Structure 1
Amino acid sequence: MNYKAVVAELVAAKLPELNAETVAELLEYPPNPELGDLSLPCFKLSKQLRQAPQQIASRIAEQLDPHPAIASVEAVSGYLNFKLDRARFAADVLGAVLREGERYGSRTIGAGKTIVIDYSSPNIAKPFHIGHLRSTMIGNALYKIHEFLGYTCVGVNHLGDWGTQFGKQIAAFKLWGDADKVEREGVEELLRLYVKFHEEAEKNPALEDEARALFVKLEQGDEECLRLWKWIIEISYREFNKIYGLLNVTFDSDLGESFYIDKTGAVIEELEAKNLLVEDDGAKLVRLDEYNMPPVLIVKKDGATLYHTRDIAAAFYRKKTYDFHKCIYVTGSAQSLHFAQWFKIIELMGYDWAADLVHVPFGQVSLEGAKLSTRKGNVVLLEELLQKSIDQTLQIISEKNPSLENKDEVARQVGVGAIVFNDLSTYRIKDVVFSWDEVLNFEGETGPYVQYAHARCCSVLRKASGTDSIEAPAVTPEQAALLTHPSEQAALRELYLFPERVLQAQQKLEPSIITRHLVDVAQSFSRFYHDCPILVDDEGQRAARLGLVKAVQTVLKTGLALIGLEAPQKM
């Protein structure tokens, strides 16, 4: 039952000035359950209804029609507070979770709509570092959340496999490289060569000209340059796939920038035909002065294209290939202007689907206040971070639960989960200062805490069944209605809120809403576990409480999956 909708209908029936949808948007969940389960702050209605908030609250409370789901209504200090019938609420929520299982919270609102999500997109020949984690895991979570709500999703890894940096990489390899060492050490050696190039170029600027010349040769199809370029891509893929394997992240498409090179010509021709291109000292650009944005360079003097040109070509390809409802780009906030510019260009070209292009920015990751830079080698490699977390987790498991089966696999699930959960706990637009101590801290509101709550649920269910089964016995509505203890009700309330939080995460493109809610679910379970003995003699009480344990386990597993984490049954 949607209790917000029920309350909104009851209130709207007594306020002809408002409809139920408007009232539902105003309803809040009081932080203190003693005040009520739902609350209408009448301050927001005072101006429209030309009455004091307390008068409005009192009037509605007196006139409200009774409803079996509502136990009481009280007007307090300008708020209209609703308390739900505890037994009915318990039976309703528990019944819904146990009936729907891991589909609880799912919807079909996306049926028939395709969402393209562009995320991760590391640069070839550069290491996968902590700065890439945010795009990868935010995008992965958005993919899973949209899919859960019925959308058809297409995950795109738009690899940075083109650009002048390849001239630098090829130049560095020709000058100082060793093929055997690159094969052996992979991207780590490519990074060393890239850093060395910039160090040497500061002393000898002529190296920059040499690199530009090599990139031009690459663009012109020089056999040797193409061979080195393809080899560098192959070396990089090996590295990336190791990381994606650890993170359990996959993609539907990995077409890099180079795929769109031969598709930029049509974009340039159309821009010219629509009189949007302006020539400037041999280069071609689009002016966006009237939109308070700097001009966008489309074609350089030497005829080469740029990121903007290739991104526009990629958008046209995706629209034609997938006919997307939305195309979402998950990148750092530093690129906000870049996306605003080329979104505007597609709009100026006359395509109304420009409004369906969405940039999802996230805050910058810095290393103790210093910006990450592959040129300077100032990075924390993601594989190193993940492995360190896995090793630390394995050490903790070996000390606390040495007889645990599959210790290595559980350590991977929990160790990787700690890193991902830590990253997705932060509101995405906030900047993040990387700290080894914080990331590897498993205490408090962390991924391991939530995963442990799931494992504890599984342990209770196994103990109750006397087998390895984590299924709960059937629970009748009458038995579920026995869950009226405040700690039971608090856990049920968090379960009830889960579908709403999933929808909010999708609407706001904000996975941290789910991440934070999982902590709330785990904490409510911990209080329930402490306050309410589960394996009691009373058959009805036992069945109801085991049903609640199963419901919490189900929602924790579902929620963890939505943000890309696994849910170990034993820890």
Structure 2
Amino acid sequence: MKEKIAEELTQLIGKEFTIREIEDWIEKPKFTTMGDFAFPCFRLAKKLKKSPVEIASNLSSEFTVKGIEKTEPVNGYLNLYLDVKAYAAVVLNEVLEKGSDYGQMDTGKGQVITIDFSSPNIAKPFSMGHLRSTVIGNALANLIEKTGYKAIRINHIGDWGTQFGKLITAYKKWGDENKVKKSPIVELHKLYVYFHEQAEKYPELEEEARLWFRKLEGGDEEALELWTWFREVSLEAFSIVYNQLNITFDSYNGEAFYNDKMEGVIEKLKEAALLEESSGAMVIRLEEEALPPCLIQKKDGATLYATRDLAAAVYRKGTYNFVKSVYVVGNEQSLHFKQLKAVLAKLKIIWADDLIHVPFGMMLKDGKKMSTRKGKIVLLEEVLAESVNLAKQAINEKNPSLPNKEKVAQQVGFGAVMFHDLKVFRQNDVHFELEDMLRFEGETGPYVQYAYARASTLVKKAETATGHSSQALYETFDSFGETERPLIMKISEFEETIKQAADDWDPSKIAKYCIDLSQLFNQYYARTSILKESNKVKQEQSLQLIKSVKITLKEGLRLLGVAAPEEM
């Protein structure tokens, strides 16, 4: 509707402004008494050489758009009031015709966006600390596709670096092959933690670890064999979690994949005379960009994250020809990505600005960051299992005869954990409290899922009572009034919410939208007795509204990676 209003206003105003400019200026009034939309005329005054009050008055007298009941000029604003009966037909017919494609855009048609997310380190447990990148990245990939782009999901596994020298050292000194085979991730993590405890007492262990990593980089047979084993068992463990969360990837090319691709990048840096020696290491000065030097190669010849990410960026551009390359990585890596873009820009690479770092805050437990090194972690797999168990208990208490209890408990348990993360603006920290996640009241995943299940149950009961499933489309919803207005308005905002969430790389906008829609539906459900409605047209039109809520809620949850149970 905003687009239709903008088109009409552009016709009336003239060619001084574009439809997109006009649409961006249209506001939603704070109070419904001031209209459903408002257009401020102040920016037009200078070009049109008229006062905002006069412009608003003139526009009001000439404005005609189907679905707008009346317009009213007020203090330089043009307030627009929707005809809820006609507007309902515009909105609901579109939802019912498009189904899950409602809100789909073709903005990025034929273009690719790569998105790098999750990226856990091998030989370490998949902790709650990894959840944020995983679920934010998955939701953003879904939003990328919803706006018409092709999303290439990349899991840049942390499978290289000095930590593997530490792990090999620890395994050779204190490891038990049988224990590792029986419970690989748990045992490898114990060894990693124990190494750091011992290294505080015996600093020479750090040098031994560096030696083993140099052997690994040099292709030492024993080092490679252990590293390959660690990687394989880790990926097997990670796949359990990804399967539970229904998250997939197009590429698992990790840090090791770029071992033979870094030399080419280093050569380009040499050719461009960008490398300088600093205390034996090779760096790129970035004073002009107000950034510290970017370390490319250590004194001992070992490579760093920056070297690999430069190689990865070049490889991904060549392989996928992306229009944007997105990195869903924590706030603490912001400097790294500024340096990465600055180095590419110094190489005169025109797509350097197409690299986008999407930062996020930490997952906190008891107000503190979780640390893999110190062993202070909460395993994601255990959290998911506990969440499912609590969901199962709630189902047994509230609806013990529910079919498919196990499946629904998983949908609710997994969804609760994901939604709890995604409802928070990504740059804020998230506090881990499992009991809060599972509440069926308030701003939670189970609350939204329950609203969807309630709508599904209502539709099923109505269809059973009437004996048919009508998809009749109405030219006008004559039975609708102010009771239906909030729901219709909220449903109509879905596409704009998707666009804003995608533009801002912010899935919390979708989560908040789902909460708002669920609250409005529950209010409507409490006030309206659809099954007992004697007026068949009123009943039918109300059901079309509920079906539209269902479609929109389900798609909103899908964008977040959360399932929508038909019954709860």
TM-score exceeds 0.5: yes
When structure 1 is superposed on structure 2, of 52-61 and 92-101 the one drifting more is: 52-61
Structure 2 match to 1:103: 101
Is it true that 1:538 corresponds to 2:535 in the alignment? yes
Q: Could you say what secondary structure the match of 2:514 adopts?
A: helix
Distance 1:415 1:436 in 2: 10
> Could you give the per-residue CA deviations for residues 166-192 of structure 1, whole angstroms, max 9, x where no partner exists?
011111111111122122222122111
Structure 1 match to 2:500: 504
Q: Using the TM superposition, give the Cα deviation of residue 55 of structure 1 relative to its aligned residue in structure 2, in angstroms.
A: 5.3
Q: Using the TM superposition, give the Cα deviation of residue 242 of structure 1 relative to its aligned residue in structure 2, in angstroms.
A: 1.1
Paired amino acid for 1:555: T
Trace 1:333-344 onto structure 2 (pairs within 5 A). Answer: 333-344=331-342
Query: Does the CA contact (< 8 Å) of 1:472 and 1:547 recur in 2?
Result: no
Paired amino acid for 1:407: K
Distance 1:484 1:177 in 2: 71
Distance 1:487 1:179 in 2: 67
When structure 1 is superposed on structure 2, of 91-100 and 228-237 the one drifting more is: 228-237
Q: Could you say what secondary structure the match of 2:493 adopts?
A: helix
Query: Does the CA contact (< 8 Å) of 2:71 and 2:79 recur in 1?
Result: yes
Is it true that 1:491 corresponds to 2:490 in the alignment? no
Q: Using the TM superposition, give the Cα deviation of residue 468 of structure 1 relative to its aligned residue in structure 2, in angstroms.
A: 13
Distance 2:364 2:398 in 1: 34
> Could you give the per-residue CA deviations for residues 87-141 of structure 1, whole angstroms, max 9, x where no partner exists?
1101111110001111111022221101111000001111111121111011111
Query: Does the CA contact (< 8 Å) of 1:487 and 1:524 recur in 2?
Result: no
Q: Using the TM superposition, give the Cα deviation of residue 18 of structure 1 relative to its aligned residue in structure 2, in angstroms.
A: 3.7
Residues 468, 377 of structure 1: alpha-carbon distance in 2 compared, 3 angstrom cutoff: farther
Query: Does the CA contact (< 8 Å) of 1:40 and 1:79 recur in 2?
Result: yes
Distance 1:547 1:468 in 2: 14
Is it true that 1:348 corresponds to 2:346 in the alignment? yes
User: Quick one: which of 367, 376, 394 aligns to 1:369?
Assistant: 367
Trace 1:155-554 onto structure 2 (pairs within 5 A). Answer: 155-466=153-464, 472-478=469-475, 481-535=477-531, 536-554=533-551
Paired amino acid for 2:473: T
Q: Using the TM superposition, give the Cα deviation of residue 20 of structure 1 relative to its aligned residue in structure 2, in angstroms.
A: 3.2
Query: Does the CA contact (< 8 Å) of 2:437 and 2:445 recur in 1?
Result: no
Q: Using the TM superposition, give the Cα deviation of residue 10 of structure 1 relative to its aligned residue in structure 2, in angstroms.
A: 3.4
TM-score by length of 1: 0.95
Runs of 5+ unmatched residues, structure 1:
none
Q: Using the TM superposition, give the Cα deviation of residue 216 of structure 1 relative to its aligned residue in structure 2, in angstroms.
A: 0.8
TM-score by length of 2: 0.95
Residues 483, 528 of structure 1: alpha-carbon distance in 2 compared, 3 angstrom cutoff: farther
Residues 4, 32 of structure 1: alpha-carbon distance in 2 compared, 3 angstrom cutoff: same
Paired amino acid for 1:24: E
Distance 1:245 1:20 in 2: 44
Paired amino acid for 1:89: Y
Runs of 5+ unmatched residues, structure 2:
none
Residues 323, 205 of structure 1: alpha-carbon distance in 2 compared, 3 angstrom cutoff: same
Q: Using the TM superposition, give the Cα deviation of residue 53 of structure 1 relative to its aligned residue in structure 2, in angstroms.
A: 5.3
Is it true that 1:23 corresponds to 2:22 in the alignment? yes
Distance 1:112 1:45 in 2: 37
Q: Using the TM superposition, give the Cα deviation of residue 369 of structure 1 relative to its aligned residue in structure 2, in angstroms.
A: 2.3
Residues 467, 420 of structure 1: alpha-carbon distance in 2 compared, 3 angstrom cutoff: farther
Residues 539, 441 of structure 1: alpha-carbon distance in 2 compared, 3 angstrom cutoff: closer
Structure 2 match to 1:39: 38
Identity of aligned residues (%): 47
Distance 1:13 1:538 in 2: 42
| Superposition CA RMSD, Å | 2.0
Distance 2:46 2:373 in 1: 58
Distance 1:36 1:162 in 2: 59
Q: Using the TM superposition, give the Cα deviation of residue 459 of structure 1 relative to its aligned residue in structure 2, in angstroms.
A: 0.6
Q: Aligned residues, how many?
A: 566
